[in-house]
Amino acid sequence: MTLAFLASPYSRYADGIGQAFIDAARLAARLIKSGVNVFSPIVHSHPIAYWGNLDAHNQQLWRDLNAAMVDKCDVLIVAHLDGWEQSSGIAHEIECFAAAGKPIFDLDPETLAMVRR
């Protein structure tokens, strides 16, 4: 069974981190409904940061946590939501998956069309 890592913008999201969480959760749900087994670090981490009183902007904290999931996931899906091109987190995730030789797909969040890089 293939597990996909869903990369989406967070700290630089135009509508703020709360909306970044909502949009990532909605997108993850749509992917799951379409048969994609997906892990979303934003959907997983945002409520933990909020309810656990953790710094949502501490990139090193979340990178360390996400490193284990990068190892476990088979493919990277890069959601082309506003701000994705400026996201240092997404850039890091792309580098990790590329270095591991794992497939990377670009995702249109409206149509769910994916194109392999």
Domain residues for 102?
A: 6-116
Tell me 54's DSSP state: -
For residue 1, being part of any structural domain is answered with no
What integer pLDDT is reported at residue 94 of this predicted model? 97
When divided into structural domains, the chain yields a total of 1
One-letter amino acid for residue 93 of the chain: E
What integer pLDDT is reported at residue 27 of this predicted model? 98
What integer pLDDT is reported at residue 112 of this predicted model? 97
The CA-based angle 13-40-36, given to 5 degrees, is: 125
The residue ranges of the chain whose pLDDT is under 50 are none
Q: Tokens 């987190």 appear where?
A: 89
Q: What is the CATH number of the domain that holds 41?
A: 3.40.50.10400
What integer pLDDT is reported at residue 29 of this predicted model? 98
What integer pLDDT is reported at residue 49 of this predicted model? 85
> How far is C-alpha 54 from the geometric centre of its chain's CA atoms?
19
Q: What is the pLDDT of residues 28-53, one digit of tens each?
A: 999 999 999 999 999 999 888 889 88
For residue 53, being part of any structural domain is answered with yes
